[in-house]
Amino acid sequence: MTTHRNHITLLPTYIGAAVSFLAYIAVGAVPGILYGGYMGLAMSSALFGNLAEPTVLGRVITGGGMVLGLCASLFFFLVAGAFLGTLLGLPFAPALRRMAQAEPEAVPVEVHTAQR
């Protein structure tokens, strides 16, 4: 059962990803929507010729660009935060490995069914 041990050694990565998610909510969500909406408007104007054409398809493309910008910003923040958490956690890696080895491993429980 090495999965629990892996969670302990990956703790800095998880902490970095959590902190970067909070930073994304505070800093990255609004610019992601803004630049994604701008990208959607640019695609809509390239396809239909008018920047502010109020058609359903143009609005769908603009909304899709906003969602794409929001997701791209989220992925950037999460990957960068996990990477920084891993880098900052490297000095603590030997201590985390010792902690993971010191914990007793759980014994798997076998379930026996009643024989008929």
- Chain segment 2-16, per-residue pLDDT in tens: 555 567 778 888 999
On the question of pLDDT at 39 being above 60, the answer is: yes
Residue 23 inside a domain? The answer is: no
Which pair of tokens denotes residue 37? 């909406």
In a domain, 94, yes or no: yes
Residues 45-94: tens digit of each pLDDT: 888 777 665 778 888 888 999 999 999 999 999 999 999 999 998 888 88
Range of the domain at 51: 28-102
Instruction: Give the total number of structural domains in the chain.
Output: 1
Q: Strand, coil or helix: what is 24?
A: helix
| Closest CA relative to residue 92, chosen from 81, 102, 100 | 100
C-alpha to C-alpha distances, 84 to 5, 31, 70, 87, nearest whole angstrom = 21, 22, 21, 5
pTM of the shown model = 0.72
The answer to whether residue 5 is domain-embedded is: no
Whole-number Å distance between alpha carbons of 65 and 40: 4
